[in-house]
Structure 1
């Protein structure tokens, strides 16, 4: 139905057994925001490290996303510190359901991933979660509630974009 190439490559140093990650050594980043029509609604696509870039999620919402995927293999260190708050924040700020599949466990490399797969609703509530191990998570999508959340708090209408010039201090005359 659609193809998504990860926009943000994980080129970081982490205080874990592996220490250094450089996805750009093996992969090129993508260049397009992707939203696909599915039987359950318009699905925005993202992957793992993309979760740290709210502007991507804003673009997915602007492109019509109602649900957003975020399959990930967050490291045990970064996942413990940031996974839950990032997944919930992206759901809240986009008012979309976040479908966050998450690899967890120990892998060759050596690499350890956090896990904690979740489905988060547009209000930021975790409606299904699996900390570790294999699972299939299911949740009902309440389109009426999603529309109500979007109507009561119309963040899309309130969003303002600023150029770098707008961020500079205003000149005052004395």
Structure 2
């Protein structure tokens, strides 16, 4: 369709790297297969640098006008994490509902991520309850910058999304935020400060992953 060529032209014309997503795209090797909800990374020459297929699909019940969401009816699950080098640091890709799964973000950090993108369309209900908490938590625990573009407004379905796009730094500080409406949010990445945060609090080196064999129930008499 017209979306990908438009994104490539925009990246070339504006000399920008663009994280675009999500887009419904079939697997590259199986164009007739069920599509994935994809986030694409386009460089400033208009070339596709990376593709992330959303791992966690939104199959939930929500107390809003729509009530039920079944993303897996239309999309297939992704199978791998994706990181890519950019001019401002190593970027990990994620999408929306992924924010609820910290193990994904831990894997992105382990793969060298310094920034993590999270284009999202949280519902008004789930967003009001959890969006800002989750975005800040993922930034704090990974010690990464989180770039969280949040769709906001009224949509067919009916569906209402929460908005509140934000850029959060590795200490969990909200550097820029837009509640609703179109906006451009800007923030600088301070690589030296990020390195210092990671050095002073080396959570990645301290991480201990326990196997199920290490978990023992406690008997209560």
TM-score between both structures, scaled by the size of structure 1: 0.97
- Displacement of 1:167 after TM fit? 1.2
Does residue 1:130 correspond to 2:178, yes or no? Answer: yes
* Structure with greater strand share of residues: 2
- Displacement of 1:87 after TM fit? 0.0
Per-residue Cα deviation, 1:83-116 (whole angstroms, up to 9, x for no partner):
0000000000000000000000000010000000
Question: Corresponding residue for 1:85?
Answer: 133
Q: 1:105 aligns with which of 128, 136, 153?
A: 153
Question: Corresponding residue for 1:9?
Answer: 57
Q: How many residues are treated as equivalent by the alignment? A: 171
SS in 2 for 1:2: strand
> In 2, Cα distance between the equivalents of 1:38 and 1:170?
48
- Displacement of 1:168 after TM fit? 1.1
Question: Corresponding residue for 2:93?
Answer: 45
Question: Corresponding residue for 1:21?
Answer: 69
SS in 2 for 1:3: strand
Structure 2 residue ranges without an equivalent (≥5) = 1-48
SS in 2 for 1:4: strand
SS in 2 for 1:32: coil
- Displacement of 1:119 after TM fit? 0.1
SS in 2 for 1:113: strand
Mapping 1:49-64, distance limit 5 Å: 49-64=97-112
Question: Corresponding residue for 2:31?
Answer: none
> In 2, Cα distance between the equivalents of 1:10 and 1:3?
19
SS in 2 for 1:58: helix
Question: Corresponding residue for 1:76?
Answer: 124
SS in 1 for 2:112: coil
Per-residue Cα deviation, 1:59-96 (whole angstroms, up to 9, x for no partner):
00000000000110000000000000000000000000
Structure 1 residue ranges without an equivalent (≥5) = none
Does residue 1:115 correspond to 2:163, yes or no? Answer: yes
- Displacement of 1:118 after TM fit? 0.1
